[in-house]
Structure 1
């Protein structure tokens, strides 16, 4: 089994299963799963701040709140019922759905890279909107749409380990995991977005002036770095899901080759072996995601567009 991302996803799934084992412990166990799930949706955490860039600072937190509510609505009103239906009627469909989501994330990441290399500008349509409310609504809709894919991945991963539980236990476990993930991720996003305001507040006090000014000066670079990290994470997550899906279908030649390569490198590096092995599997997952995403972009460009 591929390491890195897959191990983390399996850990989340195991925690979700544990949460359903006892209704008395469901909140605590699912809360721990949600905390780890923040790592899975690192691309959501990294990309979301870009949706409020250029908008009024006074609207930053309200916009993030709207996106968080949209994320929770995705999970509880759409994905949770769909997950329960899948569990009852078509459990075999969970892995293909995960792989479709992985392919979409790979496409999104590859499209951003191709646009940057070719001078294209992903999202120019939003830049032409002059009405602040219309722009805000568009940004929120885009963020919630991206979140839907990631939320679907997390819910499907958790559901995959809850097959032996009752429908009620599945519903409770998935609901608690959904709330924990949303609170954790968008709490971090809110902190990132308001970091410059925190810096300005600290800069007003002599004792913390240097720290405050440093935060304000660093934020443009932090946001730029987050955009890069978000794109890389889309490819990493997407490629990792594809590898995991291939292994589930018995097509394990490539996953096993990557696992063996990472294990071989790790064995020769002693204390640093674990980190090196993880980096190899993460980088390989990202490259596979990039290759798949670029292929999808190329295929879509061959499809005639209506004018």
Structure 2
């Protein structure tokens, strides 16, 4: 896509922020990229030079297009086979060192956090993200979502209260607090991998919380557990069984998945599955296994 003059500067400046908003709204890397691309194509046609506040204007376009996508996808979600998980976001070295704190907050990229956001209505989600993650003022949010600033305050309070009261889906209210630093999460995940590969079930059970939950998203495209697997012992059995059935070309590597340490597995060099974790107090509280090939195409 070619944008001239100031449009090119705006594209470079705001693309990361707009992607972060779209991804958190949609839980889809590919859809988020499409929404951002569409937004800039639309802006180029309407002569960006005449827009007083490009940042707010672009956020408004992206938010509205995200809501349109969510609306059109709602019926598909109702008949989705098994647990739905967001597309994993594999962070590059550039992502990890991104200086803009507004869209590099890794805790708000975690799978657990994204699942909590899915419990909100589309407008609540937009207001919550604009305020909590991107730290917009209420007047700016009002301009973006087309509501009064007073109404936006009420929506934000309602959304934050709702998130804190949702039953744990691997995303308890602690997700809204500061998450463990990468080094702490990495150590737990590395111990988990070592225990799993070596077949040390005792060590595995010591790493996974007794009431942990595993969610497996195959989307009806591949074989996967259609119901959450509850409890450390069942999770250990499931993961051990999964490891025993890997294809001949299987390999894996540790990677930064949604801002925390995770695992990317490959079959003959192609993405096979991605695993992310929710770590609480030094133990794994939830495991998210994405096997749906449609959600791995962007990797």
TM-score range, shorter chain: under 0.3
Higher RCO by CA contacts (8 Å cutoff, separation 6 or greater): 1
TM-score (norm: length of structure 2): 0.27
